[in-house]
Structure formats: structure tokens, C-alpha cells
Amino acid sequence: MADRTIENDSTDVPEIPEELERVLVFALDEGKEKLQGGEDLVPFTALIVKDNLFLETHPGENAEECFTAAEANVRGARGAGGYAFCYDGYIETDDGVKDAIIAEGGQPGADTGYAVAYLYTVDDDGNFTFESEPAYIGEAPNFMEALKEPVAYAADEIDEKYAAAGDDGEDAGDECCGAHDHAAGESCGCGCAAEE
């Protein structure tokens, strides 16, 4: 899942908006947890809607299908305040090609998005060793470039699955986001209805 090019001709790290930085790091941590747990990292998006986080996986036969599905999901997310798209890939560095969990993200109306990553190695026993801090990769396409700020949408313009998120941060839906294995009432940290 690495057929994507993100250019970075600068050594400057821009200031990423705080809310976006949080969702990018959350996505990287989710990906890291999956790999360390022996699971496959199926590409997924994390959408910020009010005080909730909606996770959705985007499996595909190839990288292009995964990216297309993620882009379609995010472009239609009226009412969302930001997103991260996370996948397992690699980065070309001065020291050669490095494995990485990559998260790209953006916010409504912004011209560009950002890409960050946890670089990692895998030893002969299959154990993962991750860098302790995310690395800034460069600018990335912003799937939310054409969207307006969440408050600019009337209630009837927001997708039902996002409109169900109440102003008090409680999700009115009755199912978990599916990103974690847990029973109803147990916390997985995703903000889904099963945590109520």
C-alpha cells in the first residue's frame, strides 16, 4: 500500500493546526497498535465531527482503490472538521527506503493537507520498533479542500451518520465504529456509541 508520492522540497516543518495534529497522531497510534498486535493495517480514515471521531476502513485490491475510497468518503463528509487517512507504506529517505505508517490529513477549505509518519523496522522475529516521534513528510492533497467549515452547513446538509453526533459529544448511533474489538459499554477511545 505505498503507490503514492508526497513531495517535500523543504526542511521547514509547518505549524499543523492543533485539532488536525491530534487526529493525525491518533491515526498513527491506531496503525501502530494494529501492527504491534499482529494485525494487518487496512487503510482507514478518521473524521472529526464535533467531539466525536468516526473511523472507517477502506480495503481494496490495490493502493489506488484504497485511496479512491478514502477520498470519496472524506469529500462527502459535510460537517466534519478534519480528517486523517492512515496506511502502511514506505518513505524514501537519504538513508534509503524506510517502512512507515503514514497519516495524511486536512481541514475544510484548506488548500493543502499534511502528511506525517512513524518510521519503523521489523526484526527477524517479526517485532516492530517504531520511532518515538512522528516525522513530517510534506504537503499532501487535502480531500476536504472543497468543503466548508462544519458550522456553515445546515442540519439537513450533513450526512445522517455524522448528524447523529449530538452537541454534547455523545453519538446517537447504536453501533461501534468497528475499529476496535470491544463489547458495548467498554471504552475503546474512538468516541463511538458503544462507549456510552
Q: Give the model's pLDDT for residue 13.
A: 74
Q: Are 36 and 128 in contact (CB under 8 A)?
A: yes
What is the share, in percent, of the chain residues with pLDDT greater than 90? 57
Least confident interval from 14-18, 34-38, 153-157: 153-157
For residues 27 and 103, give the distance between their C-alpha atoms in angstroms, rounded to a whole number. 7
The model's confidence at residue 156, banded by pLDDT at 50, 70 and 90, is confident
C-alpha cell at 126: 517479526
Could you give the angle at the alpha carbon of 26 between the alpha carbons of 98 and 74, nearest 5°? 95
Domain boundaries, the chain: 18-150
- 157 three-state secondary structure: helix
52 pairs with which residues across the strands? 49
The model's confidence at residue 194, banded by pLDDT at 50, 70 and 90, is very low
> What radius of gyration do the chain's Cα atoms show?
17
For residues 154 and 148, give the distance between their C-alpha atoms in angstroms, rounded to a whole number. 11
C-alpha cell at 48: 472529526
Task: Find the mean pLDDT for residues 40-46.
Answer: 96
Q: Give the model's pLDDT for residue 150.
A: 79
Question: For residue 171, is it left (φ>0), alpha (ψ between -120 and 50) or beta?
Answer: beta
